[in-house]
Amino acid sequence: MKIGIIGAGAWGTAFAIHLARQGHQILLWVYEPELFDVLQKTRENTFYLPSFLLNSQIDFTLSLKDFANFSDDVVVAIPSFALRKTLEPVSPLLSGKRILVLTKGFEENTFMRMSTVIHEVTQSRVPVASLSGPSFAKEVAHGFFTSVVIASDGNEVSKYFQNIVHNRNFRVYTSEDIIGLEVGGAMKNVMAIGAGIIDGLKLGTNAQAAFVTRSLAEIKRLGKAMGAKETTFMGLSGIGDLILTCYGGLSRNRAFGIELSKGGKPEEIIVNQKQVVEGYYTIKASHSLSKKLDVDMPITSELYKIVFEAKNLQDSIEDITSRGFKDEDA
């Protein structure tokens, strides 16, 4: 099968490696001309996923039109802020294909989930599924065991992609709760920034455990308000991905939080990390979304104030820990 992947970052590249192992022909759309030249000459993504040679089943292009004409099906692995503007010019060429979304986040101005953005851009002409779960790109590229979930409205599209993506070392479950899967995938990046702050300030493992537990409660409240099933957040795309992203050593969002704990300025940290910190963008959208839906999200609110209003970290911690008494289920 011919599969096109939009986005040659770490995750898009790792997924190309994985699908090529399955015997598929892959065309990787590359945004940066400089990276395209490097890939053509060396077959190594030295920008975002160094030390992995891409085999001959993976080709590269700068042309979205050529990409769309090549592909039987499409995998989307670009940052959330670039999704709409990247797909809009080629949306007529996507008819008749299926799309698998790897992108995590909410669109900043509309607060839409990624699959909803694609449905709007393509005028719902294209079946869409989303993949999420605890899966660092580098480990997928290595072929280490990974387990994820693919969700869609109804099981047809998710089961279709399950058959394409699944192998012995990449176990795929399916779900019909695409809302819950995408909410969990977006919010774990936000919470990982907070986990990084706690880690960087050396507040202890008790605090870390409390933080990830209350983060999950906050994500579940938002998910419920958006129509998700609560049980989804207890699975791989919920608590599984949250734990990995909050405490895994390869987490860019956690690393961003650690740098904040050292006094770094958010904009400078973003530039220095050189890779997308999706949680940075999702904080703003999720904070606005919580206001719109009237959902109590104190952790998200404090992270918004830290990142976008320069609130002192110790003041934020004090405000969180001195909140009034509550029932745990409230």
3-state secondary structure of 55: coil
Q: Is 292 a catalytic residue?
A: no
Burial call 139-157: b when 16+ CB within 10 Å, e when fewer: bbbeeeebebbbbbbeeeb
Residue 101 backbone dihedrals phi, psi, to 5 degrees: -100, 125
3-state secondary structure of 322: coil
3-state secondary structure of 131: strand
Query: How far is 67 from 25, CA to CA, in rounded Å?
Result: 12
Active-site choice (41, 85, 138, 188): 188
Task: State the virtual CA torsion across 181, 183, 188, 191 in degrees, nearest 10.
Answer: -160
Query: How far is 124 from 254, CA to CA, in rounded Å?
Result: 35
Give me Rg for the CA atoms of the chain. 19
Query: How far is 28 from 324, CA to CA, in rounded Å?
Result: 51
Q: What is the DSSP string of 6-21?
A: E--SHHHHHHHHHHHH
Q: Catalytic positions, please?
A: 188
